[in-house]
Amino acid sequence: MASTFKVESNVIRFMERVDKIVARRLLDACLLIQQQLQDDLRKKKFPPKSQPGQYPAMRTGKLANNVIVFPISIASIMKKRMCSVGYRKTSKPSPAKYGAILVARGRRGPADTFRKNLSVIRAIMNGTSRGGKTR
């Protein structure tokens, strides 16, 4: 009976370690997307305004400054089993609503940044890279 408990305890600890590693990798991938999206949003200065198929031109920097990762803690990611990158929902005008309007009008957004960095994200999730730096 005692050895069964020890094996179950080891399996539980092992699974917790695996969950923590996966959560850390997921957070690393989300932080990469956040940084890349902020960089993409800061590249094109206004004027001229952006065209469909481009990232929005930066006027005030509010959209780039309000790109967030949620949740940000390993424990929360382990609990929710997910992590998101998007625009912060703040007081009016909300960057989240403004970003969604721009994407609906053909501008690039978080999903485009995700697709552009998919190979690096796969490497992070496979454990062969951490935020673009090979281990």
Q: What does the pLDDT look like over 37-92, one tens digit per residue?
A: 999 999 988 888 889 999 999 888 889 999 999 999 999 999 999 999 999 887 67
How does residue 33 score in pLDDT terms, banded at 50, 70 and 90?
A: very high
Question: Shortest CA distance to 33 belongs to which of 89, 83, 92, 95?
Answer: 83
- Name the pTM for this structure: 0.84
Q: Give the span between the Cα atoms of 55 and 114, in whole angstroms.
A: 13
Give 53: exposed, middle or buried? Use CB within 10 Å, 0-12, 13-18, 19+: exposed
Sequence spans of domains, the chain: 2-134
- Look at residue 47 in the predicted model and tell me its pLDDT: 82
- Look at residue 135 in the predicted model and tell me its pLDDT: 38
How does residue 125 score in pLDDT terms, banded at 50, 70 and 90?
A: very high
